[in-house]
Every structure is written in structure tokens, then in C-alpha cells.
Structure 1
Amino acid sequence: MPSTEMTVGDLIDLLSACDRDAPVRQAINPFFPMEHRLDQVLQSVDATGQTVVHLAESSDEHSQLGALPPEVAVTLDWQSPVQPPRRPRRTARGGQ
């Protein structure tokens, strides 16, 4: 059965189109979208013997940066687009 997981090669291909000097952040938790700084890349072996790579955030208290920008959450389909509030309609004043 083919894997649906992103591979290191897929990640490299996607990253190759990005600005090499841009900071890397990880989007976490679709129900409460937050962004985190990445600190480490670790390679290990899972329970089935397959090599896997883990992207880890720092244990530094400042590694969680805050809420994920809404446009990123929308692009990830974690949130619906929010329409700006509409102003109330003007009413016609009769008899003046």
C-alpha cells in the first residue's frame, strides 16, 4: 500500500521554492491554530522499522509564537473565511 505521508524528498522539493532566509514555523492544532518555531530535525526508526524524520519545536518557553495568521488557517482548511461585518443599510426617510 503506497504511503500518503510526506517524505523528506517532498519536503525538500516544497522548501526549494521558498526564501532560504525565511524562518521556519510549524502550524499546529486545527481546532486552536497556533504557530511554533522549529528547533530540531531528528531522524529515528518507528515501531515498524521504518526511518522517520521528526521536526521538533524548542523547549524554550518562547517557541510557541501565538495564533496562526487567519489566512494560513483558511488556506489549510482549518478555518472558514470570515467575511467583514456589514454596515447597517440606510433607510429612506419619507415625507421630507
Structure 2
Amino acid sequence: MKIWGLKACDTCRKANKAIAAQGVELESIDVRADGVATDDLNRFYDAFGEALVNRRSTTWRGLSEDERAGDPIELLREHPTLMKRPVIEHQGTLYLGWGADVQAAILD
């Protein structure tokens, strides 16, 4: 299982902890430190569309109107912390966030 998030993100830490408690081998990718591959960004955007961009983040509020109107993939490449997180890949399926629906789908 892979999880893309931030080390400092409380939600990402909760997800990591709960998944690790299940004894699942987990590969964690810190989007700030490690970045996100363009192929992965494209897959995520194909799966989640505009929901992938966190418009409530501090990073989003700091962008100009011109930047906000730009290509979402390019925006996420330049500002990986704009990505809503975590993004979890489990058994070939992508999940966004750590809501009850995601937890039910991946935790046994």
C-alpha cells in the first residue's frame, strides 16, 4: 500500500498509524520532501478531478487569481502541498482523504 501525504499533517499521521496497526506494509511518500511524480499526479487527477486541489489550504489562499486559474496539474506540481491528502493506493484503487468511507474500504 502507498500513501501520499505530509509528515506534519495530523490526518496523514492518523492514517499511517491505523494502517500500520493492521500490519500492512506501507510506503509513505511525503509530497513536500519527496515530491509527486507527474504520472501519479495525472492518475490522481483522473480519479478525483478538482477534488484533488485543496482550496481551503493556506497555500491556496496565498495564490494569486491568475495562479488559481492555471492548469491544476501544473499548480500541484509547483505546490505539492495543495494536494488534498492523504491519497492512498490500495490493491489498485485510489482513495482520497481519511474519512469513514476510506477507512471502511481499506481497514479490515
Q: TM-score, normalised by structure 2?
A: 0.21
Using the size of structure 1 for normalisation, the TM-score is 0.22
Q: Which has the larger radius of gyration?
A: 1
**Structure (1/2) with the larger strand percentage:** 1
Instruction: Point out the structure with the larger helix share.
Output: 2
Higher relative contact order (CA 8 A, sep 6+): 2
